[in-house]
Each structure stands twice: as structure tokens, then as C-alpha cells.
């Protein structure tokens, strides 16, 4: 496994791989790797001959009041995990490598960056889209894998790739969960023992929504109320949002209408830890 920290060296390495006729896959991450990230590596392996993973906690996607400085980091552990899983290249740049000068060019995905997560983190997706654009230009992958865990992010990256004609194929991988349903996340280690137990309420509320919609409930405001009630009765979690969108457009929906699938998304805070989760609800279209 090769570890690359420099932009020019990564670009040279990518050029050599591409010239040799091999397909290069990229899994962008912020490190502190877990099985969710590893499932993305497996997905990349199915589609590519050489698998690169980037490990970079990108400051421009964190607001000043967010957890940039406390975000968990453990490169030695990440390196071992990646090696065991058969990763070929780790691209792990420093801040001065990624942002050597004050950056003035950014990618903005309008409208969809302003809703849901974007309402609570107004500058987040500008930072995400811009760093992913940089990573695509540095690692030059044929394909890149993103997790459905961050459904809005995945939608935004796909929109960027399609609107700006990036020559990279985006593949989505399903959410990996703990046995009790909690979606794996690097941020789960912030949770106290009690919060960790209560945090399963996110998944349980999504299952409740799946059941309601499967039982032909069409009114999503009612489903939201049931979810809020469950979360309030079984945890101290503070809900930032519970929303339902058309998975193909990310526009909000309040009624199932003729949709065959509705994407339910939520963000809940436990103390200082903010968790997000989502589920595609299969409806019973009329």
C-alpha cells in the first residue's frame, strides 16, 4: 500500500495507473475508518483495479462552531485497517497541501445545498462539493464511491458531476449499521453510554415511518408527528429536522402521491453529538 501526501505525486501516480489501462477507484473519507468506509472500499474494488482512499478532515466544510478540532483522527489505525482491506493507495494530504493559498474558487450546488442539512449547516455543502472537486482533479479516479448514509451529500456530488461534466462514475453504497440499528459513524464515539443506547431511536423512528407508509399512510406530516413522538418519549435527543423528499429530485414532499419511493431523512442531537440517518421508504403507489 502506497501513502501519498503530495498533490503532484498523487497526480503522477494517477497518470501512470491510467496510462497502464487500469481503472482507478476513489473512496473519499475523513478518516477514523469503520466498517461503513470499508464497505465503500469493497464496492470500489468491484469496479476498479486500483483502489485509493483519501483521508482528509476538510476544514472548509466545518462552520466555526462545529467539531473540526475535536473530530476523531488516528492515522496509524486507519493505515492498518486500509491495508488489511486491500486498499492500494492512501491519499492523506495536510491542510497546507490542500490549501496552500487563500482559495477563491468554490463549487456551489444551488437550492439542494440550502435545505435539510443545508439549513442547519449553511456553508457545509459548498465546502464538501469544492473539496470533492479538488480530490477528483488530484486523484483522477474513473469512479468514486459515496455512502447512502450521507444521502444529501451523495445527491449533491452526483448533481455536481452531471452539471459540470466531471468524467467520473459515482457509485452509491448502502448504509452499514450496528446490530441494534445505529448507523456507523466516526462521530458515534462522542456518545456517552446512555446516549449510545438511546441513539437507536433514529433507526427505530425510520422503521416506524417505513411501516406507516407501507401500511398506506399517505400523509407524511402525520408520519413526522409519530416519529417526533417516538423520539421524544424514548430519548433526550433534540430533533433538527425530519423531512421527506423525492429521492430523484430531493424536493420535499408532504404527501406520498404517486411516488414509489420516498426518502426520509433526519438529524438529531444528543448533547453535543449530532447524528444523521435516512431510509428509503417503499410506498404502495396508487
How far apart CA 10 and CA 53 sit, in angstroms, is 12
From CA 174, how far away is CA 277, in angstroms rounded?
Answer: 12
CB of 242 to ligand AMP, least distance (A): 19
CB of 166 or CB of 254, closer to ligand AMP: 166
H helices of 121-277, in order, are 124-139, 151-163, 193-198, 201-214, 220-234
Q: Which is nearer to ligand AMP, 42 or 246 (CB)?
A: 42
**Bridge partners of 252?**
245
Distance CA 116, CA 245 (A): 10
Min dist CB 229 to ligand AMP, Å, is 26
**Chain contacts with ligand AMP (rule: CB under 6 A):** 29-30, 36-37, 39-40, 146-147, 149-150, 173, 175-176, 183-186
User: Minimal distance in Å, beta carbon 188 to ligand AMP?
Assistant: 9
**Given 34, 37, 124, 142, which residue is catalytic?**
37
**Whether the Cβ atoms of residue 90 and residue 79 lie closer than 8 Å to each other:** yes
Is there a catalytic annotation at residue 34? Answer: no
Complex with ligand AMP: residue 25 or 36, whichever CB lies closer: 36
Q: Which is nearer to ligand AMP, 33 or 256 (CB)?
A: 33
Cβ partners under 8 Å of residue 41, min gap 6: 27, 51, 53, 82, 85, 86, 87, 145
Distance CA 168, CA 285 (A): 34
Find the shortest distance in angstroms from Cβ 175 to ligand AMP.
4
Q: Are 190 and 275 in contact, with CB atoms under 8 Å apart?
A: no
- Active-site residues: which are they? 37
Amino acid at each position: 500500500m502506497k501513502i501519498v501526501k503530495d498533490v503532484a505525486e498523487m497526480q503522477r501516480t494517477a497518470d501512470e495507473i491510467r496510462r497502464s489501462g487500469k481503472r482507478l477507484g476513489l473512496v473519499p473519507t475523513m478518516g477514523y475508518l469503520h466498517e461503513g468506509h470499508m464497505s465503500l472500499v469493497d464496492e470500489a474494488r468491484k469496479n476498479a483495479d486500483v483502489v485509493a482512499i483519501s483521508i482528509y478532515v476538510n476544514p472548509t466544510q466545518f462552520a466555526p462552531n462545529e467539531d473540526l478540532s475535536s473530530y476523531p483522527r488516528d492515522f496509524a489505525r486507519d493505515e492498518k485497517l486500509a491495508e488489511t482491506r486491500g486498499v492500494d493507495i492512501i491519499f492523506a494530504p495536510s491542510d497546507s497541501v490542500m490549501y496552500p493559498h487563500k482559495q477563491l474558487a468554490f463549487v456551489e450546488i444551488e437550492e439542494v445545498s440550502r435545505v435539510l442539512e443545508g439549513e442547519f449547516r449553511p456553508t457545509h455543502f459548498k465546502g464538501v462539493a469544492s473539496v470533492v472537486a479538488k480530490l477528483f482533479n488530484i486523484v483522477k479516479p474513473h469512479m468514486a464511491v459515496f455512502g447512502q448514509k450521507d444521502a444529501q451529500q451523495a445527491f449533491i456530488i452526483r448533481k455536481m458531476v452531471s452539471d459540470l461534466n466531471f468524467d467520473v462514475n459515482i457509485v452509491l453504497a448502502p448504509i452499514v449499521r450496528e446490530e441494534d440499528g445505529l448507523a456507523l459513524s466516526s462521530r458515534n464515539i462522542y456518545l456517552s453510554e446512555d446516549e449510545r443506547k438511546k441513539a437507536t431511536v433514529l433507526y427505530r423512528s425510520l422503521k416506524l415511518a417505513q411501516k406507516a407508509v407501507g401500511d398506506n399512510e399517505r400523509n407524511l406530516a402525520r408520519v413526522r408527528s409519530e416519529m417526533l413522538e417516538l423520539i421524544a418519549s424514548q430519548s433526550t435527543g433534540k430533533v433538527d429536522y425530519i423531512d421527506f423528499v423525492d429521492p430523484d429530485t430531493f424536493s420535499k414532499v408532504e404527501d406520498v402521491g404517486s411516488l414509489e419511493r420516498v426518502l426520509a431523512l433526519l438529524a438529531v442531537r444528543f448533547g453535543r453529538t449530532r447524528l444523521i440517518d435516512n431510509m428509503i421508504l417503499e410506498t404502495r403507489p396508487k
